[in-house]
Chain A
Amino acid sequence: MITEYDLDRTYSTLERLRGAIGTAVVGQGAVVEAALVALLCGGNVLLEGVPGLGKTLLVRALASSLGLRFSRIQFTPDLMPADIVGTNVLSDDGGRRQFTYSPGPIFANIVLADEVNRATPKTQSALLEAMEERTVTVGKATYLLGTPFLVLATQNPIEMEGTYPLPEAQLDRFFFKVPVGYPSLEDLVAITERNTEGGGVALPEPVASADDILSAQAVVREVPIAQPLRQYVARLVLATHPDSGHAPKDVQSFVEYGASPRAAIATILGAKAHALLAEEPNVRRADIEAVFPLALVHRVILSFRGEAEGIGVPALLRRVWEETSVL
């Protein structure tokens, strides 16, 4: 049971966080918001965008403002799973040789998995298992990851040669998939100004602690959502299934597989966090609308016909949103 103090503390923490990140990252408000929502929900985010859009800066600013441990893993084809989760190494402890576990970069609170699609599936799998289980098993020992734990993976939508696209099952483990777009004119001007004058971009000072985040995560789960809205989310997710009676015609034509139940969970949980970020005491339809495409866009698989005709999943989700009645 949360208290008024927890609630006030959460609102305060989120306000400070947004202010701190805003000092380092210009624009990209939707991406920052999605990252915070995922953090509050304990989920992981797949950021998709071309290089140079500030993805790494965003993650670093978030970690810095939280005062949490941050690690960055650059995925390459020769990256091995042990390079992520760590390995046992032979050590000499006062003349006594033994294997000791050397943790990998996954042991951090905030992990940036840069260009995750460039690693081999075996390495990708090691990362994604750690993301899902929040544990790492090496040899006979199992190690818990730290809390809070947030993986922000990035992938480049171009230069697909020599990449290993994440399989659908792996994609489903990401809470959100967030597109990172180009900054606006004003934002671009501000970015150039910050990076070309003075001492460059400075990372923010810590404004919140891990406890603050854990407390906020507890509050998020208490945010109420009305039963009709819960049913609405279920209908939305079912509407992405071509065999469902709720599916629009386009979905029936161009979708091979609809979203999994994880999509519904992510939508409701994300809507709760979004409401909290908006300092609302309950989930609104607008909160669902904000997180719905982020939670489903990577969970809907187009059919051959859909891909051949260049149908975009976001457009299909917009159609689903428009054609699904709230009541």
Chain B
Amino acid sequence: MFDLGRLERQAVRRSRTLHGVRTAGIAFAAAVAAVLVAAVAARLGAFAPRLDLSVAAVLFIAAAAIAGFVVGHAPRPDIARLLLSIDLALATGERLCSLHELRSRSGATPLENRIAARLAEAPPAWRRVLRLRRADILPWVAGGGALTLAVLLALTIAPPAPTATVDSSHEVRVSSGRNATQGSSNPLEAKTGAAVASDRGLSPSEPAEPFADTLAELLSAPPSQGLLGDLGDETPTEASSPARNSRRSLSEYLSQLLSRAQADRNQTFALTEHEKESLQDLLRNVPGSSLRQSLSSLLGGETGDALKARLEESQRLLENSARGDEGEAGSQAGRSPGSPEGEANGSNPESIGWVPLPPSSDGETETTEASGRRTGADAGEPETQGGSALPRNEEGGSAVGAEGTGQAPAAPPGLGFVPEELLGSVGSEGDLRRYFTKGTPFEPPAENRAPVATLSLDYEALRALLETRALTPEVQTIVRAYFAEITRGGP
């Protein structure tokens, strides 16, 4: 006799399993699609792709599939409909559902026996109907698998290197980054890389930015006490904003000390240890070794009127140095990008390269501070000096060293550092030159561009940037080469 009850139990169990698997497939595909959206968002910069996020995505997909199975498996199917679906699929003449209908009534009928007898003669192969067909699950699994591959690729492949075109948003970031840091160049306020990043609203997990942004960070980083300091104190130009700020800080501090000395009527005025330490810190950042040596005499332990005289002399030296800066600034103003000379200079493509400069005319082994003094002396003639001033921007690049040398530029090496002038020689190490860089591969627009002389680098911040910004290997290589060149003082 045909056992309809057993068939019903098995069919229901299998139907629930199948429904669960189908639902799991749909949930799997949906979860993968959601993760893909997240991956695309990560690629667009919403957040940084990280290993833990990848693991979480995989767990999410697995959990969605399991949840889909549970949800699909839970509801009990309508047995009559299930049996009718089997009947229709197997063309059994709707005997299964009819027998179920008769059995749900009270009392057996001859028709029930006839139906059961016919089912017993030709048992329906109902398992063929309730099986997982490829058409049921394959599209979902294939689609989900393809999406998974896409997700994995999106999560694992590094972001593409930036193209040579820098969009306006990057330019804005470059300019704003520089402007935000120009006023805080005090080395005492130099921050670590993480601190720099946090100051600029960048989280350590922030995704990779184009190279232009990185260079903007570099340009706007506070002055370094690190590698650039190793190059020699003379390397930063006098006209640089950090140098001016350092002098200003020192001048203010000296003014305070001087006023205290003048107020001392007992002639016992002397610097405290704390004041000496502060003074030392400020002196360390004063550009120009001669100026620094002059000011270092303040720490000699003198007291009373002698110390007062030293303070006044130092104050005077600082004022002279400041005047030199102003003169140089006037020179730069006279060499604006719109000036005829600037345009002429900018039109010379050979400006990218080395311009070997002869030793300075007076042959002094002067630091940039001394050069600043000389420029400051010339500041009274901006019209004549402006055009021949050192090129600090790209447009004026061809004029590098024009006044000082008058020589043709040499063949340009890779990164295009231009030796401005030979400052002298340092012992057995050879010539001491001052260099100006042509700029970065992704220069901001001229209106947002600051003089290259304002370039200052914080190597801790730089290292933190390189470690946290997920630069592509190519970009990292370029950046390393860039600073390797700087470290060596040029090619």
> Residues of A with Cβ closer than 8 Å to B?
1-4, 6-7, 222-229, 280-286, 326-327
A134 to chain B, nearest CB (A): 27
B446 to chain A, nearest CB (A): 67
Give 16 pairs: A residue, B residue, CB < 8 Å, sorted on A: A2-B109, A3-B110, A7-B110, A224-B101, A224-B112, A226-B83, A227-B80, A228-B78, A228-B97, A281-B95, A281-B111, A282-B95, A282-B111, A286-B93, A326-B88, A327-B81
> Residues of B with Cβ closer than 8 Å to A?
78, 80-81, 83-85, 88, 93-95, 97-102, 107, 109-115, 118
Q: Which residues of B contact A284 (CB under 8 A)?
A: 93-94
Tell me whether A226 and B101 are in contact in the complex, defined as CB-CB below 8 angstroms, given that A7-B114, A281-B114 are known contacts.
yes
Tell me whether A229 and B97 are in contact in the complex, defined as CB-CB below 8 angstroms, given that A326-B84, A326-B88, A327-B84 are known contacts.
yes
Further contacts, 6 of them, CB under 8 A, given A226-B94, A228-B84, A282-B115 = A2-B109, A226-B80, A226-B100, A226-B101, A227-B101, A281-B98
Closest to B84 in A: A228
Q: Give the distance in Å from the alpha carbon of A315 to the alpha carbon of B100 in the complex.
A: 34
Determine which residue in A223, A228, A280 has the highest number of CB atoms from chain B within 10 A of its CB, and name it.
Answer: A228
A5 to chain B, nearest CB (A): 9
Q: Which residues of B contact A283 (CB under 8 A)?
A: 94, 98
Q: Give the distance in Å from the alpha carbon of A280 to the alpha carbon of B98 in the complex.
A: 11
Determine which residue in B88, B99, B109, B112 has the highest number of CB atoms from chain A within 10 A of its CB, and name it.
Answer: B109
Q: Give the distance in Å from the alpha carbon of A283 to the alpha carbon of B85 in the complex.
A: 15
Q: Give the distance in Å from the alpha carbon of A225 to the alpha carbon of B102 in the complex.
A: 9
Q: Which residues of B contact A282 (CB under 8 A)?
A: 93-95, 98-99, 101-102, 111, 115
Closest to B93 in A: A284
Q: What number of residue pairs across chains A and B have CB atoms under 8 A from each other? A: 73
Closest to A288 in B: B94
7 A-B pairs closest in CB distance: A282-B98, A226-B97, A281-B114, A4-B110, A281-B111, A228-B84, A224-B98
Q: Which residues of A contact B111 (CB under 8 A)?
A: 2, 7, 222-224, 281-282
Tell me whether A1 and B114 are in contact in the complex, defined as CB-CB below 8 angstroms, given that A226-B101, A283-B98 are known contacts.
no
Q: Which residues of A contact B109 (CB under 8 A)?
A: 1-2, 222, 224
Partner of B110, one of A2, A225, A226: A2
B357 to chain A, nearest CB (A): 89
Q: Give the distance in Å from the alpha carbon of A315 to the alpha carbon of B83 in the complex.
A: 31
Is B84's CB under 8 angstroms from A226's CB?
yes
Is A229's CB under 8 angstroms from B94's CB?
yes
Is A285's CB under 8 angstroms from B88's CB?
yes
Q: Which residues of B contact A285 (CB under 8 A)?
A: 88, 94
Q: Which residues of A contact B97 (CB under 8 A)?
A: 226-229
Q: Which residues of A contact B94 (CB under 8 A)?
A: 226, 229, 282-285
Q: Which residues of B contact A326 (CB under 8 A)?
A: 84, 88
Is A228's CB under 8 angstroms from B98's CB?
no
A180 to chain B, nearest CB (A): 29
Q: Give the distance in Å from the alpha carbon of A228 to the alpha carbon of B77 in the complex.
A: 13
Determine which residue in B85, B95, B110, B118 has the highest number of CB atoms from chain A within 10 A of its CB, and name it.
Answer: B110
Q: Give the distance in Å from the alpha carbon of A2 to the alpha carbon of B102 in the complex.
A: 13
Q: Give the distance in Å from the alpha carbon of A226 to the alpha carbon of B93 in the complex.
A: 11
A263 to chain B, nearest CB (A): 21
Q: Give the distance in Å from the alpha carbon of A227 to the alpha carbon of B103 in the complex.
A: 12
Q: Which residues of B contact A225 (CB under 8 A)?
A: 98, 101
Q: Give the distance in Å from the alpha carbon of A1 to the alpha carbon of B106 in the complex.
A: 11
Is A228's CB under 8 angstroms from B81's CB?
yes
Tell me whether A229 and B84 are in contact in the complex, defined as CB-CB below 8 angstroms, given that A280-B93, A283-B98, A284-B93 are known contacts.
yes
A87 to chain B, nearest CB (A): 46
Q: Give the distance in Å from the alpha carbon of A18 to the alpha carbon of B81 in the complex.
A: 35
Is B101's CB under 8 angstroms from A281's CB?
no
Closest to A4 in B: B110
Q: Give the distance in Å from the alpha carbon of A326 to the alpha carbon of B86 in the complex.
A: 12
A14 to chain B, nearest CB (A): 15
Q: Which residues of A contact B102 (CB under 8 A)?
A: 224, 282
Q: Which residues of A contact B88 (CB under 8 A)?
A: 285, 326-327
Q: Which residues of A contact B118 (CB under 8 A)?
A: 281
B95 to chain A, nearest CB (A): 6
Q: Give the distance in Å from the alpha carbon of A225 to the alpha carbon of B84 in the complex.
A: 11
Determine which residue in B78, B93, B94 has the highest number of CB atoms from chain A within 10 A of its CB, and name it.
Answer: B94
Q: Which residues of B contact A223 (CB under 8 A)?
A: 111
Q: Which residues of A contact B93 (CB under 8 A)?
A: 280, 282, 284, 286
Q: Give the distance in Å from the alpha carbon of A285 to the alpha carbon of B95 in the complex.
A: 11
Q: Give the distance in Å from the alpha carbon of A285 to the alpha carbon of B83 in the complex.
A: 14
Q: Which residues of B contact A4 (CB under 8 A)?
A: 110, 113
Q: Give the distance in Å from the alpha carbon of A7 to the alpha carbon of B111 in the complex.
A: 8
B98 to chain A, nearest CB (A): 3
Q: Give the distance in Å from the alpha carbon of A226 to the alpha carbon of B82 in the complex.
A: 12
Q: Give the distance in Å from the alpha carbon of A220 to the alpha carbon of B111 in the complex.
A: 11
Q: Which residues of A contact B112 (CB under 8 A)?
A: 224
A251 to chain B, nearest CB (A): 24
Q: Which residues of A contact B114 (CB under 8 A)?
A: 7, 281
B85 to chain A, nearest CB (A): 6
